[in-house]
């Protein structure tokens, strides 16, 4: 089937950059589903293959649950990572399930899976067979700790990976207080890196005509964002440790308490430091504060100085004065405040969809926007709600049958 024919088979949606691309999503939990959702956000047709009866395990990850019109509970966890997808239930250990999956793979551009390494092989779909079925197929495989190496087959969950990949050692109030990041960041990063790899492989396919296997892992994705903390060790030989809400290499840069709460300040250069000092009648050339390196070395003194300065001021007054001085600053918002913020809505970060049993619901939206050179926005706005289990099973099977009929005509 050509891409133009595929587009005619798509549910009615606004065109996105990946319109005409078909993704078969064998993933579950979060890392893989997030990658597949990113493809759907860009206009791809994403067909989520789930186990009959139970489906993706995140369908029961809760509370919180929301009761649908059919009396069934819907997990908000599942809703967070499965928009813009169709669902078909297939038993991949059965002859029928494998046959339907085979038909899907012959027509797909992308296959995504996050089974433990070797599982897809045991189901009868090793990489060489996938290439025989569809030489243009791009395959994304996400694992916990990598597909090879001494611990390649090790199962991975986000909490474990955050610890093993060093992220928890960098997060917390101090070295004795390791903390996980408040979202499953290893899973989300794996999904993001996975989608990024798939897009690169699709681009290369335009030159070579052939697909390839893209692999990433929770371990790789977290190590991939160590940034300057990584080079502190690999180059400078320093082992970074958690130190709370203040930057290890810039000062002042962090959270500072005031009369009724706290504000965040980021003085990324000397000019910003001097503007802050001028606004609050501080001497920027006080001994120990003259340079960023000096302030980092005397960070406790800098924190105490600013918090003493802000002690009699409410947070909004501090923020107003910092804004007047041109110093980057901000609040610490709760999520209800974030989603109620006009700026959030203006960026398309909250989308409304019609769910089959929940009715109209709002979901966190995709973070990308697209524009023509003349400024006309072309961002896909027509989003589909996360599907019920096997909601599209009949229509997907019908599409496969009709496609076979067209091919034989």
In the block, which residue shows the tokens 């918002």?
333
The catalytic residues are 187
Quote the CA–CA distance of 111 and 130 in Å, as a whole number.
9
- Specify the pairing of strand 22-25 against strand 110-113: parallel
Structural contact between residues 346 and 378, judged by C-beta atoms closer than 8 angstroms? no
What is the distance between the alpha carbons of residues 179 and 76, in angstroms, rounded to a whole number? 24
Quote the tokens at residue 257: 């308490």
Among 86, 76, 42, smallest CA distance to 363 is for 76
What are the residues facing 73 on neighbouring strands? 67
């Amino acid at each position: 089937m050509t891409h133009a024919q595929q587009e005619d088979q798509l549910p009615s949606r606004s065109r996105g950059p990946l319109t005409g691309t078909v993704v078969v999503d064998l993933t579950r939990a979060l890392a893989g589903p997030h990658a597949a959702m990113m493809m759907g956000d860009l206009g791809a047709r994403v067909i989520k293959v789930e186990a009959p009866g139970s489906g993706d395990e995140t369908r029961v990850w809760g509370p919180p649950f929301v009761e649908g019109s059919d009396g069934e509970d819907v997990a908000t966890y599942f809703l967070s990572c499965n928009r813009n997808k169709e669902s078909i239930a297939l038993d991949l250990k059965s002859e029928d399930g494998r046959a339907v999956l085979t038909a899907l793979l012959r027509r797909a551009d992308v296959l995504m899976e996050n089974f433990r390494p070797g599982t897809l092989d045991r189901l009868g779909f090793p990489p060489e067979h996938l290439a025989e079925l569809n030489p243009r197929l791009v395959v994304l495989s996400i694992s916990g700790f990598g597909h090879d190496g001494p611990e390649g087959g090790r199962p991975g969950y986000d909490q474990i990976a955050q610890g093993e990949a060093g992220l928890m050692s960098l997060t917390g109030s101090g070295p004795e207080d390791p903390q996980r990041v408040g979202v499953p960041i290893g899973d989300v990063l794996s999904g993001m890196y996975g989608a990024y790899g798939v897009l690169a492989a699709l681009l290369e396919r335009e030159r070579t005509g052939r697909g390839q296997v893209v692999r990433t892992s929770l371990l790789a994705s977290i190590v991939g964002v160590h940034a300057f903390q990584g080079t502190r060790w690999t180059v400078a030989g320093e082992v970074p440790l958690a130190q709370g809400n203040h930057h290890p290499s810039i000062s002042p840069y962090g959270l500072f308490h005031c009369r009724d709460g706290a504000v965040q300040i980021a003085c990324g250069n000397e000019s910003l430091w001097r503007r802050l000092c001028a606004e609050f009648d501080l001497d920027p050339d006080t001994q120990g504060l003259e340079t960023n390196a000096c302030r980092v070395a005397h960070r406790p003194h800098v924190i105490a100085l600013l918090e003493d300065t802000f002690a009699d001021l409410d947070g909004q007054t501090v923020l107003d004065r910092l804004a007047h001085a041109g110093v980057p600053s901000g609040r610490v918002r709760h999520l209800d405040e974030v989603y109620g913020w006009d700026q959030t809505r203006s960026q398309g970060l909250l989308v409304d969809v019609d769910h089959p049993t929940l009715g109209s619901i709002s979901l966190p939206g995709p973070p990308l926007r697209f524009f023509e050179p003349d400024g006309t926005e072309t961002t896909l706005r027509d989003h589909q709600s996360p599907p019920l289990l096997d909601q599209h099973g009949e229509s997907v099977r019908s599409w496969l049958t009709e496609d076979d009929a067209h091919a034989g005509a």
